[in-house]
Structure 1
Amino acid sequence: MDSKSLYKISYGLYLISASYNGKQNGCISNTITQVSASPAKLTAALSKNNYTTEIIKNSGRFTATVISQAVDMNVIAEFGFKSGREGDKFEKFNPRLDDSGVKYLAEDMCARFSCKVLEAVDVGSHYLFIGQVEEAEILSDIPVMTYEYYHQTKKGTTPANAPSYQPENKKSGYRCTVCGYIEEKDNLPEGYVCPICSNGTDYFEKI
């Protein structure tokens, strides 16, 4: 089987957030799908290892925002490559609250959906949450961030917990320990910063 054929499936990029017992968290997902129109229902696939998954299972709710091409890549770095078990991912940003008290980001996002979970399906490494949309709004008219745009234009990488993750071929150079970006150079120049998460050379490791 040619696993690269899976790259031909079209994806977007989304921020999924949830709240339970005063704890707010969120993570990046590329697998949000509308499955019905009346009533409107969405599915979201999240790794069993994600802290956000645990919160959604406990609370029975999630909020999904559609990420735009204009998004600050620090949003991707914070919500895609860090664990909410180690700190508050929202503290660096200006979140809003939906009617159920779940935080979400509105800046440089295209749309927002707040959902009640109807069912959680165990699909192996991930849970597939089926949610009924209870709130929805357009946040901007900025073009949406497709997964192809994220990889080809933003030069982004895929977190290991993502459903579409595939191990990359062996590379040499320096890897960012925050977002996983690899700079294929013998040495990093003075003042170098990661093009994905903007962290400096102190956050890079030789590979």
Structure 2
Amino acid sequence: MDANIFRDMSYGVYIVSTMDGERPTGCIANSIMQITSDPATVAISINHDNYTNGCIDANGNFTFSILAEDSDSGLIGKFGFCSGKDVDKFTDVNYEIVQGVPVVKSTCGYVVCEVINKMETASHTVFLGKVLDAQVYDPSSQAMTYAYYHNVIKGKSPKNAPTYLPEEKPQPAKESGSKVKYVCQVCGYVYEGEDPIPEEFKCPVCGMGSDRFTRVEE
């Protein structure tokens, strides 16, 4: 089976969030779809290993904020490559509480849902949500697609994402004068600037320093 075909399907990039007791938490998701329009219901797919999964199950509701192409790409690093069990992901994030759950500003907008059913798969829980509220923050913003994230931002899927495919290990660049790039070993971001990569460089997706980048041959 050629799993690359799934990358030709349409995906967005979302921050799914809920409450962990009194503390907001969340994760990046790209598998969300509207099931019906009246009553409005949606389905989201969250990996069993994501801390957010258990919090949604315990809390009984969730929200998803739709990232825009001009949203801070650092949000993807914070919500996609860290665990809410160990990190307060909402520190320094502009958000508000709507119907008891956190929604992230500087996005296209949000949808708040109450869990009405769920289905377990081998690796993910599919939560079915009844829409309680929704709001557009910026009508002019362009929603980020996974293709845009992959091709323009040069990011990779977190390992818990349904679209995750193991990447081949990059080979060190040969001393042949060929074009060189640097790949972040945490999130897969590709740096194609100076060679060598500046020591002070920080990954715009996950925030890692230049020491976490590997020099590779394109």
TM-score (normalised: structure 2):
0.86
SS, match of residue 63 in structure 1: strand
Question: Which is worse superposed, 23-32 or 165-174?
Answer: 165-174
Encode CA deviations 1:145-195: one digit per residue, 9 max, x unaligned: 011011111111110000010001221356535434355898533333324
Structure 2's unaligned 5+ residue stretches are 173-181
Contact 2:199 2:211 in 1 (8 A): no
Question: Which is worse superposed, 178-187 or 56-65?
Answer: 178-187
Structure-1 separation of matches of 2:13 and 2:94: 20
Structure-2 separation of matches of 1:120 and 1:76: 25
SS, match of residue 19 in structure 1: strand
Amino acid at match of 1:84: G
Contact 2:81 2:206 in 1 (8 A): no
Contact 1:26 1:79 in 2 (8 A): yes
SS, match of residue 120 in structure 1: strand
TM-score (normalised: structure 1):
0.90
Structure showing the higher helix proportion among its residues: 1
Structure-2 separation of matches of 1:30 and 1:129: 14
In structure 2, relative to structure 1, the CA distance for the partners of 1:89 and 1:195 (3 Å cut) is: closer
Question: Which is worse superposed, 191-200 or 113-122?
Answer: 191-200
Pair 1:148-2:157 in alignment: no
- Identity across the alignment (%): 37
Structure-1 separation of matches of 2:158 and 2:66: 18
In structure 2, relative to structure 1, the CA distance for the partners of 1:87 and 1:197 (3 Å cut) is: closer
Pair 1:123-2:131 in alignment: no
Structure-2 separation of matches of 1:78 and 1:179: 11
In structure 2, relative to structure 1, the CA distance for the partners of 1:3 and 1:186 (3 Å cut) is: farther
Structure-2 separation of matches of 1:179 and 1:8: 21
Larger radius of gyration: 2
Encode CA deviations 1:111-151: one digit per residue, 9 max, x unaligned: 21100001111011000000000001111120000110111
Q: Aligned-pair RMSD on alpha carbons? A: 2.1
Structure 1's unaligned 5+ residue stretches are none
- Which residue in 2 is equivalent to 1:103? 102
Pair 1:94-2:94 in alignment: yes
SS, match of residue 52 in structure 2: helix
In structure 2, relative to structure 1, the CA distance for the partners of 1:168 and 1:203 (3 Å cut) is: closer
Structure-1 separation of matches of 2:166 and 2:190: 13
Pair 1:60-2:60 in alignment: yes
Contact 1:42 1:133 in 2 (8 A): yes
Report the Cα offset of residue 83 of structure 1. 0.6
Structure-2 separation of matches of 1:34 and 1:43: 6
Report the Cα offset of residue 200 of structure 1. 2.4
- Which residue in 2 is equivalent to 1:194? 203
Contact 2:153 2:189 in 1 (8 A): no
Q: Structure 2 matches for 1:1-207, cutoff 5 A?
A: 1-99=1-99, 101-107=100-106, 109-141=107-139, 142-172=141-171, 175-176=183-184, 178-181=186-189, 187-204=196-213
- Which residue in 1 is equivalent to 2:178? none
